[in-house]
Amino acid sequence: MKVVVCVKQIPDPADPGALDPETKTLKRDMKLILDESDSYGVEMALQLVDAAGEGEVTLVSMAPNNERSGLSTALAMGAASATLVSDPALQGSDSLTTAKVLAAAIKDQSPDLVIAGSESSDGYTGTVPEQIAGVLDLPSVTAAKSITVDGSSIKVQRQTDAGHDDVECPMPCVVSVTAGVVEPRYPSFKGIMAAKSKPVDEKTAADLGFDADAVGWAGAGQEIVDVAEAPQREAGEIVEDDGEAYTRIVGFLEELKII
Amino acid sequence: MTYVPPIRDINFVLDHVADVDDLLTRPPFTDVDRETLDFMIEEVGRFMAEVIAPTNVDGDKIGATWSVGDDGYGRVTVPESFTSAYKQFVASGFGAVPFDPEFGGGGFPWIAAIAIQELMTSANMAFALCPLLTQGAIDAIHHHGTDDQKALYLPKMLTGEWTGTMNLTEPHAGSDVGALTSKAEPVGDGSFKISGQKIFITFGEHEMAENIIHLVLARTPGSPPGTKGISMFLVPKYLANEDGSPGQRNDVSCVSIEHKLGIHGSPTCVLAFGENDGAIGWPLGDEGAGMRNMFTMMNNARLSVGLQGLALTERAYQQALGYAQERVQGTAVGAEKGAKSPIIDHANVRRMLMTQRSWIDAMRCLLYENAAALDRTVGGGDDAEAQQEWADLLIPLSKGLCTDVVNEMTSLAIQIHGGMGFVEETGVAQYYRDARIAAIYEGTNGIQAADLVGRKLPMRGGAVVLEKLDAAAALAAELTGVAPLGDFGPRLTEATAAARRATEWLLEHGMTNPNNALAGSTPYLRMLGVVICGSLLGTLAKATLDADDDADFLAAKQASARFFGEQILPTVGALEAQVTAGADLLFALSAEQLA
Ligand SMILES: Cc1cc2nc3c(=O)[nH]c(=O)nc-3n(C[C@H](O)[C@H](O)[C@H](O)COP(=O)(O)OP(=O)(O)OC[C@H]3O[C@@H](n4cnc5c(N)ncnc54)[C@H](O)[C@@H]3O)c2cc1C
């Protein structure tokens, strides 16, 4: 079983840096780490390959400056190899371009399954996995909380507000994974030592058949026109209990349509 | 309270003080590449912060508990979170990093183990003691074990599946290890029956691992009194089956555990050997060489305890800083009229934070330099002998200074919290309580000071110390007039001169009357330690002048070095009088008059 996991490398959320006022995007010229929301996909993929008893997990990432720190973490967790697409021309790519580039990198590998996170922790567009499926003309399942392989198809529990839906989907397909649904393993010392000799195939936009003016800022169909500070959280309401406070709480919960 | 691993600070010291890039060009470390080392330290940091740190409060609140097991032997239970965290630690393989690849180790230099230990100890000191003692036992078996012993025990101990203990202390034999009376009677088949009682044995009993390998000091029949009659024995909790798996229970029982000021998660055990059918043990190393062999691990063990001083200061500082940013009280100078200020804006609170911060940098320089010096002795390079002297001199400073300072720094962390610091709920009191043991075990700081003036100062007739002071003075001259460092250079010059005078006094007066040297040994350890820290911080500060790094980060390092220079180095002046006062006044009152 061959599983490709799309992983994003992002600025450390503990020290996220700043927005570039000119481009209105996050500065990403520092060391990047594996997006936590992708670590769940890596873990799920490793478990699926383990359960299948054969195959491998490979990674695909698009990142500036040939950055591979985050890839190293995923390789140390157990992925076998990675494709890293890095090219100054790709700077400013919107989510559709990103999806096209990743799809091109995935295509060569003919995987049985493509896994991605539902949304990245730094950009939150939440549309790349479905667009990859569109570009590759593959079925797409979103918001997976568990995946099991059943012959040539997969069974997925899709998270919903009420609980989950059971979905079946033929392979190959693209599945996006909800954050927090599995416990990602920590790289072991052995994994860390092994990671340094795992192949990372570096590719440019041109290697994947893209013209520089079809990607990046030039090719973006989307433009960020404005950014604004998030509004301050409003002060909460403090209810003093005079013996009747529960009625206020019940009223409040009714207002929220929780009860 | 979350813990943020100070990876960048560690890296900066590895780069500019310990010079790890040089270390990795020396055998046997040439296969280790820097990138992998950095990547590992980073992943270890994440593991310790996310997996180990959350268990710290459990260790303190729940602690280790004692009961009698179904088999009649004493049982120790640690918090559940310890057991699951320990399982993850074993899975991580981080316990094997510095050891011999032949037995499953990573072959990394000891300084890598020191970085791992710093991160683990900051996360949870009580928990970290278990791998720490195991590491010491591994070291002993590796140095002194037979090929069979190594093959049987080391692989499982390197993974952490089996843990290790060190059994020296007995009720009448603490600092004076030579007074111990545990016995070892030969059985005739190469094994011995061990009997006696050991006290204060760290992780002497627990069920996190499937076996515990006790290293026990005991006397064989007819052996001479004192340290020359002591031999070391290997006594497993479960005797190994043919296939090496743990089999029959050995006659070692934990008869009680201590109720302590701190490190509640680390069981401190009274172990009874051979109360029933006799505890089986095997000699580790030659008969009569037990003490000498123990000393081969002593340097590493003392360095690790010194590291506890740094690790808890770092953790307490992080918490105190967070509190100082949030707690609002009073109006600081310069604040808007009528506005209330976070306490971090008060000069007095700043002083406490800067003191902690500059000591953290100083201790990290000292400890990592000490580790690097130990590593440089391994490959037998041209400077191996000089590095050995340097490492030997640094050991009592690393252990004694850092574990004294941590008491002051964790106390400041409480002070910064005000009344809330005295209240257990904030958690900062735990660091203060946990830290207190470090100045006591692994040779009390009194013993460290005696080691400094009795063994280390006399090396080459005092020349080792004096050469280091010369080097410090030269660096001080070089840094004088370097604007970003303020008065760091001149203060280091003065402190170095004071330390030289005190050193010369001790060399002159201590040799004729040892009590003169011993009387001044504790202030001398402080004095020399502060000066050596100052000179290592000088090296660090010098590196900031042209290092290719983030400007804010470099400026912060400079400020902290400068603070040490201008505010801490001058305290050395006051110590000179204490060092050179001699013993007379200490004994002016008779023991009866003291009553
Ligand atoms: C929590 C904890 C864990 C421990 N873990 C272990 C362990 O795993 N294995 C183990 O074997 N031991 C362990 N110990 C024992 C520890 O190493 C001893 O407590 C320590 O060596 C001091 O011995 P003592 O307690 O008998 O104090 P004493 O030796 O009685 O010392 C009392 C005081 O006298 C001073 N003093 C004593 N002799 C001299 C001297 N010659 N010169 C100057 N001053 C002197 C000391 O500095 C100290 O201030 C542990 C102790 C504790 C509390």
What pLDDT, in 10s, does the model give residues B317-373?
999 999 999 999 999 999 999 899 999 999 999 999 999 999 999 999 999 999 999
Q: How far is CA B60 from CA A219, B201, B308, B484, in A?
A: 58, 18, 16, 43
**Closest to B209 measured CA to CA, from B138, B95, B130:** B130
Q: What is the Å distance from ligand 1's center to B310 Cα?
A: 21
pLDDT over 80 at B207, yes or no: yes
Exactly one of B118, B170, B389, B442 is catalytic; name it: B442
Window 72-91 of A: residues touching B by CB (8 A cutoff) are: 72-73, 76
CA distance A78 to A74: 7
Q: Quick check: B44 pLDDT over 90?
A: yes
Shortest Cα distance from B93 to chain A (angstroms)?
5
Q: What's the CA gap between A103 and B469, in Å, rounded?
A: 64
Give the pLDDT confidence score for residue A20 in this predicted structure.
85
Whose Cα sits closest to atom 2 in ligand 1? Answer: B200
- Which two tokens mark B553? 């980060």
Q: Which helix (H) or strand (E) holds B77?
A: strand B74-77
Which of the 8 DSSP states describes residue B31? T
Contact B36 A193 (CB under 8 A): yes
Ligand 1 atom at shortest distance from the alpha carbon of B217 = 11
CB contact under 8 A, B46 and A69: no
Atom of ligand 1 nearest to the CA of B133: 8
- List for chain B the helix, strand, coil content (%; round to 5): 60, 10, 25
CA distance B289 to A84: 58
Residue A15 has pLDDT above 80, yes or no: no
> Quick one: pLDDT at residue B169?
97
Distance from CA of A72 to the nearest CA of B (A): 8
Cβ neighbours of A76 in B, within 8 Å = 39, 43
Interface of A with B in 24-83 (CB under 8 A): 69, 72-73, 76
Residue A225 vs residues A24, A25, A222, B199, B357: alpha-carbon distances, Å: 8, 11, 9, 71, 43
Q: What is the pLDDT of residues B229-284, one digit of tens each?
A: 999 999 999 999 989 899 999 999 999 999 999 999 999 999 999 999 899 999 99
DSSP count for chain B of H helices, then E strands: 20, 12
Q: What are B373-399's pLDDT values in tens digits?
A: 999 999 888 999 999 999 999 999 999
Tell me the pLDDT tens digit for each residue of B520-577: 999 999 999 999 999 999 999 999 999 888 999 999 999 999 999 999 999 999 999 9
Query: Cβ contact (<8 Å) for B91 and A14?
Result: no
B39 vs A14, A186, A192: nearest CB: A192
- B→A interface, C-beta within 8 Å: 4, 33, 35-36, 39-40, 43, 46-47, 50-51, 88, 91-94, 96-97, 106
Closest CA to B286 of B221, B334, B230: B230
| DSSP per-residue string spanning A186-206 | PPPHHHHHHHTTS-EEEE-TG
Range in A60-64, A157-161, A213-217 the model is least confident about: A213-217
Domains in chain A: ranges and CATH: 2-255 (3.40.50.620)
Q: What is the pLDDT of residue A28?
A: 80
More confident residue, A243 or A78: A78
Q: Which of A101, A86, A64, A65 is nearest to A214 (CA)?
A: A101
**3-state SS, residue A39:** helix
Q: What predicted TM-score, i.e. pTM, was given to this entire model? A: 0.94
In B237-338, beta strands by DSSP E: 238-240, 246-249, 252-257, 268-273, 279-283
User: B169 alpha carbon to ligand 1 midpoint, in Å?
Assistant: 8
Alpha-carbon span B121 to B44, nearest angstrom: 12
ipTM of the predicted assembly exceeds 0.85: yes
From B104, which residue of chain A is nearest by alpha-carbon distance?
A190
At residue B550, φ and ψ (nearest 5 deg) are: -55, 130
Active site residue B442: yes
Confidence band of A229 (pLDDT split at 50, 70, 90): confident
